[in-house]
Structure 1
């Protein structure tokens, strides 16, 4: 329908122009002595239009002819970029699929198309690392570092390779160079965490985990596990100094104080330095919030002395009324009764705990109890059972 309208319109305009031209009797006189020419005005108008069109076409052809070298150059650049991009995509796909040889070949093709791309050099270095070809890896890393924008990616890749190879000094040097250049990224912090874990630098782990967690770079469960391991290592390192152990305990953040697995691990270490009483309120709060048999087993280690021990025993006996069959709590109450020299109750609770869950530590507690009661045969029997369970 639209085409028909255009055809009708064109014919109408043509008819109109023909009618106007038929009524136009004007002429144009051109004088150039000794010549004189008289031309129809319609002919002159048509001639001017034709001349304008011819001039326009001539200028367009001339411009396209003069611009041809530039268009050819741009076409070559575009083709080269397309070739580089295709080869780079192939290299990345092969790298992710573990086809390191194919990845390196494709990266070479991409590099041949554009020798200014640091991305290609880094991909090639990672492929060479997957092939365990240290020489080629070093060559490609050098190329990446020499190209514009490639210094930080080269150092990141170099640090990761060094950690994989166990060259921790080289990895730290690369990460230090990144830090000095002002580079701050999640990838750099993640590599720093991997290096700290490999070198067992637990203070660094404890510092890096919250940073990565705040940027959602670590799953919650993994962050908690790493933070717990770092805290436990911190307590172990301070075991010989009661003052430092107590200070480290007091500096624990709230999220660590709410970690019942961590507290259960830490209480024996606090008790070993004579600081077990520091954890008593924390253990009581955690057990009141949610019952935990393993944590209850450690309660006797933080019961304290004197009046505090009496209060702790009363608290444990209240729990026992609510959890009469809990083996961990029975063992803890038995040890508290031993400390209070309530021998009969101590033996009864410890034996009940053994009946529900035979453990080496409860056998040792019973052996120590029987030694105090000068029942050497019974003590020896429980020591043997403790040794057997510990070995098995």
Structure 2
């Protein structure tokens, strides 16, 4: 098409020249040294047009020949890019489907085609890690770190994740601590640190991190508040068991009103008060906590009050005032049954025990306490039934051991008669 256009242009120029000189032949004289060329103006115009045409074509051919190597290289690069993108897509989908070995091979091959292969090698490292090929994962991570910029955290985050999953929390913490100095607002880093601090039970570090995580959008307001309550409660219990009363009191004072109403914080605080022989203060805190926010688990703490053993009947009457609003709470009913047994009120104790035992989906801890109380009431059948129900409730939480081999039985064979 381009050649046809050029020919038409040349013919148009020739026609124009012929038209211009059509009224007179005219002539063109060219003399070079001893040589002289004389021709008509029309023929000279056509010759000039043809010269321009062929010169144009020759120049185009020469230009194409000169640029051919670079165009060939560009076409080859385009093919490699398309191939690498196809491998990246196939490898990523394979990784999501759980086909770790296939994903590793696809992504590693894609890295050989790609101009910037860091993403391929990081994906290959993750796939190798999922397949249990730790040596290959380390190799790919090394390649990825050689390809990415010095301040890019991707490879370090993946290496820390692998260390965490391998149970090497200290190594992971060292990696993430170094990264935190360089990129403290990285959202993926904050997620990793939240998990890691929980894993190593560094509750102080977790409480310091939670406001940053909420501000960065890693956690919502409610999620951050929930995790703060849990972390504060765990740290209070940790300090209580270590005899660090100062830390317990500081954490309690720093807690908000809503946090203090949470049974997870209330329980270690009341246990701390009891350990410090501050029984009246513990009882007041328990009463106020249950009024603000009922949690059956807190009722168990009434049995730890100093006056509980000597005034079982009086305490029973006080706690029965909660029955109209919480008549189905298994913790309350179990405590009432225990106090009734201590007060030798057998009929009332049996009624509370039967009310609890008739409920479904009881936690294992309640069932074991019921078994003990039924045994005190000399009701072995009910006690055995509660024990069996507790085993069902604990299913999946207790390891099941294989039965021992019969005497005389050898591995791979059977006992001889």
CA drift at 1:173: 2.5
Return the match for 1:360 from 306, 331, 334.
Answer: 334
TM-score, scaled to structure 2: 0.65
Are the aligned partners of 1:359 and 1:389 in contact in 2 as well (CA < 8 Å)? no
TM-score, scaled to structure 1: 0.69
Going by fraction, where is helix more abundant, 1 or 2? Answer: 1
Give unmatched runs, 5+ long, in structure 2.
1-10, 354-365, 373-385, 387-417
1:11-90 correspondence to structure 2 within 5 Å: 19-23=19-23, 25-32=25-32, 34-90=34-90
CA drift at 1:84: 1.8
The CA distance in 1 between the partners of 2:192 and 2:103, in whole Å, is: 24
Which position in structure 2 is the counterpart of 1:136?
136
The CA distance in 2 between the partners of 1:359 and 1:390, in whole Å, is: 14
Which position in structure 1 is the counterpart of 2:4?
none
CA drift at 1:179: 3.0
Report the 3-state secondary structure (helix = DSSP H, G, I; strand = E; otherwise coil) of the residue aligned with 1:67: helix
Q: CA 1:278–1:82 in 2, change beyond 3 Å: closer, same or farther? A: farther
Which position in structure 2 is the counterpart of 1:263?
262
1:245 aligns with 2:248: yes
The CA distance in 2 between the partners of 1:173 and 1:241, in whole Å, is: 28
Which position in structure 2 is the counterpart of 1:374?
none
The CA distance in 2 between the partners of 1:23 and 1:278, in whole Å, is: 126
Aligned-pair Cα RMSD in Å:
4.2
1:350 aligns with 2:353: no
Q: CA 1:175–1:347 in 2, change beyond 3 Å: closer, same or farther? A: closer
Q: Give per-residue Cα distances to partners, 1:97-135, cap 9 Å, x unaligned.
A: 111111012123213324861211111111111111112
Q: CA 1:281–1:258 in 2, change beyond 3 Å: closer, same or farther? A: farther
Are the aligned partners of 2:194 and 2:206 in contact in 1 as well (CA < 8 Å)? yes
The CA distance in 1 between the partners of 2:15 and 2:36, in whole Å, is: 33
CA drift at 1:246: 2.5
Which position in structure 1 is the counterpart of 2:159?
158
Q: Give per-residue Cα distances to partners, 1:171-220, cap 9 Å, x unaligned.
A: 12221332344464111111111111111112222222332232222355
Which position in structure 1 is the counterpart of 2:380?
none
Report the 3-state secondary structure (helix = DSSP H, G, I; strand = E; otherwise coil) of the residue aligned with 1:31: strand
The CA distance in 2 between the partners of 1:226 and 1:206, in whole Å, is: 8
The CA distance in 2 between the partners of 1:34 and 1:294, in whole Å, is: 122
Q: CA 1:366–1:19 in 2, change beyond 3 Å: closer, same or farther? A: same
Are the aligned partners of 1:235 and 1:248 in contact in 2 as well (CA < 8 Å)? yes
1:172 aligns with 2:173: yes
Report the 3-state secondary structure (helix = DSSP H, G, I; strand = E; otherwise coil) of the residue aligned with 1:176: helix
Are the aligned partners of 1:193 and 1:204 in contact in 2 as well (CA < 8 Å)? no
Report the 3-state secondary structure (helix = DSSP H, G, I; strand = E; otherwise coil) of the residue aligned with 1:245: helix
1:1-392 correspondence to structure 2 within 5 Å: 19-23=19-23, 25-32=25-32, 34-114=34-114, 117-149=117-149, 152-182=153-183, 184-218=185-219, 222-239=223-240, 240-252=243-255, 254=256, 257-259=257-259, 263-272=262-271, 273=273, 274=278, 276=282, 287=292, 292-294=293-295, 348-353=317-322, 356-357=327-328, 358-364=332-338, 370=343, 377-378=344-345, 388-389=369-370
Q: CA 1:349–1:276 in 2, change beyond 3 Å: closer, same or farther? A: closer
Q: Give per-residue Cα distances to partners, 1:53-80, cap 9 Å, x unaligned.
A: 2222211211111121122222222222
The CA distance in 2 between the partners of 1:120 and 1:102, in whole Å, is: 13
Report the 3-state secondary structure (helix = DSSP H, G, I; strand = E; otherwise coil) of the residue aligned with 2:36: strand
CA drift at 1:47: 2.3
Of stretches 233-242 and 382-391 in structure 1, the one that deviates more from structure 2 is: 382-391
Report the 3-state secondary structure (helix = DSSP H, G, I; strand = E; otherwise coil) of the residue aligned with 2:62: helix
Are the aligned partners of 2:91 and 2:102 in contact in 1 as well (CA < 8 Å)? yes
The CA distance in 2 between the partners of 1:16 and 1:271, in whole Å, is: 110
Report the 3-state secondary structure (helix = DSSP H, G, I; strand = E; otherwise coil) of the residue aligned with 2:217: coil
CA drift at 1:278: 9.2
Are the aligned partners of 2:88 and 2:107 in contact in 1 as well (CA < 8 Å)? yes
The CA distance in 1 between the partners of 2:44 and 2:184, in whole Å, is: 74
Report the 3-state secondary structure (helix = DSSP H, G, I; strand = E; otherwise coil) of the residue aligned with 1:218: coil
Q: Give per-residue Cα distances to partners, 1:134-191, cap 9 Å, x unaligned.
A: 1211221222222243763221111111111212122122213323444641111111
The CA distance in 1 between the partners of 2:315 and 2:284, in whole Å, is: 24
Q: CA 1:250–1:348 in 2, change beyond 3 Å: closer, same or farther? A: closer
Q: CA 1:47–1:235 in 2, change beyond 3 Å: closer, same or farther? A: same
Q: CA 1:265–1:52 in 2, change beyond 3 Å: closer, same or farther? A: same
